[in-house]
């Protein structure tokens, strides 16, 4: 259980409404969300909205070499709970359509989401869940995902999200590490949940809730049908301390870590993202996973603050993907580079009318200038917008704001954010066009890693988050990510920790030692490749290693880059794997 503090009073806030010109127009006192005989109403809305103060950015560098956002600082309230924040935006657009399942056609308006979310929150309270309890969501994308996020926030719960491709072993670790007390999943994934729970001695779930129906599980529909009487106020605690969401981030030295993001972190980043103002007429595609911080904040939450509509898809299937874009006249789409490559090169694209798309947002991995230009030319897209962030920064730090003049850049710092580039060896602060480690400071920086104080202290030092990414910035303040200081492999935007795969491989009885690196791939970005030292007299083959990995990890972690048997793994005197030597060896073989 994550400790959250419940204030006895109803939510009350005096918020500043900031105009487009950046001047304070007025202050408005807002009330809490109340329940009365199954009907939901608020004393007043909380229209906390911020807008970009400038359409152009230039380099803002202090004497100490610290780069500050060129936007004027936004007024970010210190203690606004996410539930009240998002409900007030839902109220603002209550008559508009909000979310539709792109496969089934099930859809909810903004008003529907308000009423259904608060009913689910009431059902949580009736079931005995208390502020600080952690509930897990193990599901592909669907409209109900949004109801869970909002309901959990309204009830003071923490939501931890899980990759829907998890194996039972991976799910077991996540359940144990997060200490969650319930899980919400799909019919197709119930068997994986039961296997994970059945093999754990510590996981104690109150219940398994399922979207649909499955024997021995509670249908999610029963929560939506609740009479709502148990929720008398939206949870309002300590926004800077109470954990709203607990996504997991892969590390380079072990298993995934729970990233504690507070109400304040998420509200701050949503306000900072108003530099990318969307229109209420925009129709968004929700194909990137909602369990990922990008899909969660930049897509699912951000559409609400902008009054847009979204169409969800559970996974990428070429024909369904393209037909959904075409028939719904999608105007803005969030993608990762492999999907942008598909749009730029696949012949199937020619069979669909994608002329409504005016913006493509790209994140999770670097996007090259050549691919940007090719996609824009083929689709006639007006804007290809890149950004940069981490799970640990809620997630956005940089974004390129139209008009785009620096193709290949991840853009400039968003409001209320500072950065510095340091030499990884000397910690010296570097200047423009000098490459070093990117360090970040802002209200979106995480509270820390769950139960990992040493890892938190290593990541956040003197208030600065050390990203592990190598970057530089130009004279105009535009940033470019050039490489990773850390050793994470990025496969189609997913993070794969070499140490996790190595820890698995070494458990095979025929493997003496091993190392894993990422090798370049045009479509996927990087592919995991293993170097294996087999035991003496072992007859283990590449196929055996691949099958062993396939049985124990999610598809995106599999060794698609192949397996190479070697006499020894290159290591430093301290025993650290010298991956650089393995990467150089692989490159040399390609050139032979």
Nearest to 399 by CA among 421, 446, 367: 367
User: Is pLDDT of 211 > 90?
Assistant: yes
Residue with the two structure tokens 């409900």: 87
Q: Is the pTM of this model over 0.85?
A: no
pLDDT at 177: 97
Is the Cβ–Cβ distance between 515 and 503 less than 8 Å? no
Residue 487's pLDDT band (boundaries 50, 70, 90)? confident
Element (H, E) at 484: strand 479-484
Is the Cβ–Cβ distance between 207 and 223 less than 8 Å? no
pLDDT (tens digit per residue) in 42-66? 333 343 444 333 434 456 666 578 9
pLDDT at 2: 65
Nearest to 466 by CA among 428, 439, 485: 439
pLDDT (tens digit per residue) in 343-356? 988 999 999 999 99
Q: Which stretches of 65-188 are assigned E, i.e. beta strand?
A: 67-68, 97-101, 107-109, 134-138, 158-162, 182-186
Q: Name which residue leads in pLDDT, 97 or 337.
A: 97
Residue 516, both tokens: 């894993």
182-186/158-162 β-pairing = unpaired
CA gap 330, 284 in Å, rounded: 6
CA gap 492, 163 in Å, rounded: 14
Over residues 230-249, the mean pLDDT reads: 95
pLDDT at 10: 28
On the 0-12 / 13-18 / 19+ scale of CB atoms within 10 A, 300 is buried
Residue 9's pLDDT band (boundaries 50, 70, 90)? very low
**305-343 per-residue burial string, b: 16 or more CB within 10 A, e: under 16:** bbbbbbbbbbeeeeeebbebbbebebbbbbbbbbbbbbb
SS3 assignment, position 57: coil
CA gap 414, 394 in Å, rounded: 13
User: Is pLDDT of 106 > 80?
Assistant: yes
Per the prediction, the chain carries an average pLDDT of 87
Query: Which 8-state DSSP code applies to residue 32?
Result: -
Give the list of residues 6+ apart from residue 343 with CB closer than 8 angstroms, or none: 335, 349, 354, 360, 375, 378, 379
Residue 216, both tokens: 């021995």
Phi, psi of 515 (to 5 degrees): -150, 150
pLDDT (tens digit per residue) in 403-447? 777 777 899 999 999 999 999 878 999 999 998 999 999 999 999
pLDDT at 76: 93
Q: Name which residue leads in pLDDT, 590 or 266.
A: 266
**Do 82-90+107-236 and 487-591 come out as alike in CATH topology?**
no
CA gap 552, 292 in Å, rounded: 21
Residue with the two structure tokens 């150089």: 584
pLDDT (tens digit per residue) in 285-301? 999 999 999 999 999 99
Is the Cβ–Cβ distance between 98 and 108 less than 8 Å? yes
Residue 129, both tokens: 């869940």
Beta pairing partners, 439:
420, 466
User: Is pLDDT of 398 > 50?
Assistant: yes
Using the Cα atoms of residue 493, residue 495, residue 498 and residue 504 in order, give the sign of their dihedral: negative
pLDDT (tens digit per residue) in 114-138? 999 999 999 999 999 999 999 999 9
Sketch the domain layout of the chain as residue ranges.
Answer: 82-90+107-236, 487-591
Is the Cβ–Cβ distance between 437 and 468 less than 8 Å? yes
pLDDT (tens digit per residue) in 150-179? 999 999 999 999 999 999 999 999 999 999
User: Is pLDDT of 71 > 70?
Assistant: yes
Give the alpha-carbon dihedral of 66, 392, 359, 345, to 10 degrees.
110
pLDDT at 62: 63
Over residues 218-229, the mean pLDDT reads: 97
Q: Among 80-84, 362-366, 417-421, 466-470, which stretch is predicted with the lowest mean pLDDT?
A: 362-366
Using the Cα atoms of residue 476, residue 480, residue 482 and residue 485 in order, give the sign of their dihedral: positive
Over residues 539-556, the mean pLDDT reads: 95
User: Is pLDDT of 33 > 50?
Assistant: no
pLDDT at 32: 42
Is the Cβ–Cβ distance between 172 and 552 less than 8 Å? no
DSSP 191-232: HHHHHHHHT-SS---SEEEEES--TTSEEHHHHHT---TT--
User: Is pLDDT of 40 > 80?
Assistant: no
pLDDT > 70 fraction of the chain, expressed in percent and rounded = 88
Is the Cβ–Cβ distance between 293 and 269 less than 8 Å? no
Residue 575's pLDDT band (boundaries 50, 70, 90)? low
CA gap 191, 197 in Å, rounded: 10
pLDDT at 69: 94
Q: Name which residue leads in pLDDT, 397 or 95.
A: 397
DSSP 108-120: EEHHHHHHHHHHH
Over residues 222-250, the mean pLDDT reads: 95
pLDDT (tens digit per residue) in 256-296? 899 999 999 999 999 999 998 899 999 999 999 999 999 99
User: Is pLDDT of 27 > 50?
Assistant: no
pLDDT (tens digit per residue) in 436-479? 999 999 999 999 999 999 999 999 999 999 998 889 999 889 99
Is the Cβ–Cβ distance between 280 and 307 less than 8 Å? yes
Domain 487-591, CATH among 2.102.10.10, 3.30.300.30, 3.90.950.10, 3.40.50.10420: 3.30.300.30
SS3 assignment, position 375: helix
Is the Cβ–Cβ distance between 47 and 27 less than 8 Å? no
For 328-391, where are the alpha helices, taking DSSP H only? 337-345, 369-379
Element (H, E) at 586: helix 579-591
Is the Cβ–Cβ distance between 386 and 360 less than 8 Å? no
CA gap 328, 331 in Å, rounded: 9
DSSP 365-425: S---HHHHHHHHHHH--SEEEEEEE-GGGSSEEEEPPSSP-STT--BEEPTT-EEEEE-TT
SS3 assignment, position 81: coil
82-90+107-236: which CATH topology? Rossmann fold (3.40.50)
Length of the chain: 592
Residue 73's pLDDT band (boundaries 50, 70, 90)? very high
Q: How many helices (H) and strands (E) does the chain have?
A: 16, 33
CA gap 55, 71 in Å, rounded: 9
pLDDT at 338: 81
């Amino acid at each position: 259980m994550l400790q959250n503090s419940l204030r006895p009073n109803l939510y009350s806030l005096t918020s500043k409404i900031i105009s487009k010109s950046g001047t304070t127009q007025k202050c408005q006192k807002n009330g809490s969300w109340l329940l009365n005989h199954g009907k939901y109403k608020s004393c007043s809305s909380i229209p906390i909205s911020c807008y970009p103060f400038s359409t152009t950015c230039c380099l803002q560098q202090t004497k100490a070499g610290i780069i500050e956002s060129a936007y004027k600082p936004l007024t970010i309230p210190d203690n606004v709970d996410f539930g009240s924040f998002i409900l007030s935006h839902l109220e603002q657009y209550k008559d508009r359509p909000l979310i539709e399942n792109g496969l089934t056609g099930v859809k909810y308006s903004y008003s529907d989401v308000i009423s259904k979310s608060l009913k689910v929150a009431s059902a949580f309270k009736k079931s005995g869940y208390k502020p600080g309890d952690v509930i897990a969501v193990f599901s592909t994308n669907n409209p109900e995902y949004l109801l869970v996020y909002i309901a959990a926030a309204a009830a003071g719960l923490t939501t931890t999200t899980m990759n829907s491709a998890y194996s039972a072993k991976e799910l077991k670790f996540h359940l144990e590490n997060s200490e969650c007390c319930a899980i919400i999943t799909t019919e197709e994934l119930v068997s994986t949940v039961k296997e994970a729970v059945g093999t754990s001695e510590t996981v104690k779930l109150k219940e398994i809730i399922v979207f649909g129906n499955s024997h021995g599980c509670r249908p999610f529909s029963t929560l939506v049908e609740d009479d709502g009487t148990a929720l008398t106020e939206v949870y309002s605690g300590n926004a800077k301390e109470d954990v709203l969401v607990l996504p997991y981030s892969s590390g380079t030295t072990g298993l995934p870590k729970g990233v504690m993001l507070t109400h304040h972190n998420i509200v701050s980043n949503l306000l900072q993202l108003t530099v990318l103002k969307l229109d209420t007429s925009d129709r968004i595609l929700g194909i990137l996973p909602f369990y990922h911080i990008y899909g969660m904040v930049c897509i699912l939450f951000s559409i609400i603050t902008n009054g847009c509509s979204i169409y969800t898809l559970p996974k990428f299937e070429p024909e369904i993907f393209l037909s959904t874009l075409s028939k719904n006249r999608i105007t803005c789409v969030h993608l990762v580079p492999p999907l942008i490559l598909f749009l730029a090169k696949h012949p199937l694209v020619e069979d669909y009318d994608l002329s409504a798309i005016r913006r493509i947002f790209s994140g999770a991995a670097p996007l090259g200038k050549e691919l940007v230009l090719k996609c824009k030319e083929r689709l006639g897209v007006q804007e290809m917008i890149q950004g940069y962030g981490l799970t640990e920064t809620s997630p956005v730090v940089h974004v390129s704001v139209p008009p785009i003049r620096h193709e290949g850049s991840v853009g400039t710092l968003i409001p209320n954010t500072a950065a510095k580039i340091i030499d990884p060896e000397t910690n010296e602060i570097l200047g423009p066009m000098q490459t070093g480690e990117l360090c970040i400071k802002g209200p979106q920086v995480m509270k820390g890693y769950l139960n990992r104080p040493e890892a938190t202290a290593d990541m956040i030092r003197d208030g600065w988050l050390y990203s592990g990414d190598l970057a530089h910035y130009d004279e105009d303040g535009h940033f470019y990510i050039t490489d990773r200081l850390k050793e994470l492999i990025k496969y189609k935007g997913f993070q794969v920790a070499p140490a996790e795969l190595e820890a698995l491989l070494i458990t095979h009885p025929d493997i003496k030692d091993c190392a894993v690196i990422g090798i370049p791939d045009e479509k996927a970005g990087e592919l995991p490749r293993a170097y294996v030292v087999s035991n003496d007299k072992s007859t283990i083959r590449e196929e055996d290693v691949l099958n062993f990995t396939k049985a124990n990890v999610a598809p995106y972690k599999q060794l698609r880059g192949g397996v190479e048997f070697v006499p020894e793994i290159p290591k430093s005197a301290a025993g650290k794997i010298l991956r650089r030597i393995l990467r150089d060896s692989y490159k040399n073989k390609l050139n032979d």
